[in-house]
Amino acid sequence: MRAFANRWLASVWAKPVWFLLSCLPALWLVAAALTEQLGANPAEALVRSTGDWTLRALCLVLAITPLRTVLGVTSLARLRRMAGLFVYFYLLLHLLAYSWFDMGFELGDIARDIAKRPFILVGFSAFVLLTPLALTSFNRAIKAIGGKRWQALHRLVYAVAGLALLHFFWMRAGKNNFAEVAVYGLVLGLLLGWRVQRRWKGRRGYLATAGGGAGK
């Protein structure tokens, strides 16, 4: 099974299929809007749905490395960059829906709303932090910045995850609805906790090796 998954993910079909699957939520939202299937408040439904899909795409991106490592499906790494760009794509749709349907593209009103409402400020901060990650997601950027700097920059995704969860929490707090927040919090906590544990084990192993070498 592992060998089959690696072969398929390494094939020329993997990226086009991943691209189409990643587009499906956006296509469904467009179709639902055109056929008036978004309920009594379609504008609110679009804003919230694009936000939900941003958070789901972010969880998916953060799950790639643990799945690749634990399951041994190394070819998953080929899809990580595209998956990251789809996080930004859905975040852009979320920002566009908010700016259009809630604020009517009035830049002054948008700026005042960002300054006035903490959950909007937090969401906008996540967008600001994610933008340089999207702009440097190609090979030339990696060469220009340097591998270590590029990796350090892209660790901002962890801050983005925290801000996205806080944005979602504050949005749900208004209606005292925390069930979905708890689910996303658990998922993101497990994914980030796995990374912390792995780094801690690596550091302990390095210190043990260095100490053993020094004692020889």
Tell me whether residue 207 is in a domain. Answer: no
Q: Is residue 169 part of a domain?
A: yes
- Reduce the secondary structure of the chain to three states and give it as a string: CHHHHHHHHCCCCHHHHHHHHHHHHHHHHHHHHHCCCCCCCHHHHHHHHHHHHHHHHHHHHHHHHHHHHHHCCHHHHHHHHHHHHHHHHHHHHHHHHHHHHHCCCCHHHHHHHHHHCHHHHHHHHHHHHHHHHHHCCCHHHHHHHCHHHHHHHHCHHHHHHHHHHHHHHHHHHCCCCCHHHHHHHHHHHHHHHHHHHHHHHHHHHHHHHHHHHHHC
Residue 212 covered by a domain: no
* Chain segment 138-173, per-residue pLDDT in tens: 989 989 999 899 999 999 999 999 999 999 999 888
Whole-prediction pTM = 0.91
- Please give the tally of structural domains in the chain: 1
2: in domain: no
Average pLDDT of span 50-66: 96
Position 211 in a domain? no
The pLDDT tens digits for 68-102 are: 999 999 999 999 999 999 999 999 999 999 999 99
Domain housing 155: 41-67+81-197
User: Does any domain span residue 172?
Assistant: yes
Asked if residue 36 is part of any domain, the answer here is no
